[in-house]
Homo-oligomer: A and B are copies of this chain.
Amino acid sequence: LAATIHDVARISRVSIGTVSRVINNSPRVDPGTRARVLRAIEDLDFRPSRLGRRLSTGKTHSIAVVVPFLTRESVVERLRGIAGVLVSTDYDLVVFNLETREQLDHALAQVVRRDRVDGFILIGSTPSDDELAAIEKTGQACVLLDARHPRLPSVAGNDVKGGRLAARHLLGLGHRRIAFIGEEPREAFNTPASRLRGRGVRLELRANGLELTPEYTAVGEQGRGRARELALGLLALPEPPTAIICASDIQALGALEAARELDIAVPAELSVVGYDDLEIAGHLGLTTIRQALFESGMQAARMLVAQLSGGPPRQSVALIDIMLVARATSGPPGRAQARSRRTTSRKCRRAASGAADR
């Protein structure tokens, strides 16, 4: 039903070779015939078949994005950024969502084949050495997003700096007992972000003569529930922290939940800082570190496209800007209120925010 290059050739009374040259606007074609061909193309509503072109050029004209946990809003934002730049190229965006490490291996095995995609972006996971070898063998373009590898170009937030910013903010408010809740890399994805954020906190504290003790460092799997448990643990210490920095906004939600359960006022008795600045952070008034998530996706996509259509230095690392957004969950320490007020407090807090149903 669809017109092919042969139809165009027939109508415009030239050979398919000439039509091909017109399509790929080669300079070596007579203006007159070009016009004739173009008109035939117009008339037949001909558009070159991607399939044929792909086979002939060996390029798939599509790129893959391998995303672990599409559940995470931060990941989705990055994906949007990628989609945003790819829409104006003619690369198809093929999505591989993963929930387990095996799926990662599987996806990489699928993706790392010249005839599947021309290149790909790995979000929040680092390939193993074997995988890297396979990638280099096929010569596919690859960009890491929210992850790093010495031999691969990448786009990542400055997580260490983010940790430092959070710590500095709290130190500036007068806090001395600052704890950190981090995320364990899930399913062996090797995500370093949480670890780096923790390191930033540690460095900043150290620069101010303090230590981030193991006692004040709680790491567990991602998600609100686990973070709540970790926070409960921290707050039950003989000398509980007056501030908690979390490696993600979601974890910060868990920390807030714990505080609510323990009837600890935020920020009067406890400051909480998150990471990412998801939409919900704005709603809850959560102090957090904002990453340019959307832009990071755009950046990664641009790097990949450039690599695909040029072959610039395979090596480059882009650091995404971050900033602290101070809201209502952080404040000066030690403003604990009298018991009577706290009791009243609890009741209405319950009424206002409701209790989570689990």
Contact = CB atoms under 8 A, between A and B. Distances in A.
Interface of A: 1-2, 47, 49-52, 54-55, 58, 60, 62, 70-71, 73, 76, 79-80, 83-84, 87, 92-97, 103, 113-116, 137-138, 224, 253, 257, 260, 265-268, 280, 282-286, 325, 327-329, 344-346, 348-358
A357 B325 contact: yes
A115 B325 CA distance: 47
Contacts of A351: 265-268, 345, 349
A268 B344 CA distance: 16
A97 to B, nearest CB: 4
A98 to B, nearest CB: 9
A268 B225 CA distance: 28
A70 B247 CA distance: 24
A113 B354 contact: no
A271 B92 CA distance: 46
Contacts of A257: 283
Given A327-B355, A352-B353, 5 more contacts: A47-B113, A260-B352, A282-B356, A285-B355, A345-B352
> Chain B CB within 10 Å — which of A96, A327, A354 has the most?
A354
Nearest to A54: B51
Nearest to A250: B279
A277 to B, nearest CB: 10
Contact of A92 (B51, B58, B94, B282): B94
Contacts of A329: 354
Top-8 shortest CB links A-B: A285-B354, A328-B354, A349-B352, A83-B97, A345-B348, A49-B115, A348-B348, A55-B55
13 contacts: A51-B51, A51-B60, A62-B92, A71-B76, A83-B95, A87-B96, A253-B283, A284-B356, A285-B354, A327-B355, A344-B348, A348-B348, A352-B352
Nearest to A69: B80
Contact of A224 (B137, B138, B283, B353): B283
Contacts of A92: 62, 94, 116
A329 to B, nearest CB: 6
B51 A356 contact: no
A341 to B, nearest CB: 8
Contacts of A268: 351
Contacts of A116: 50, 92
Nearest to A70: B80
B115 A103 contact: no
Contact of A266 (B51, B76, B352): B352
A212 B50 CA distance: 53
Contact of A327 (B84, B253, B328, B357): B357
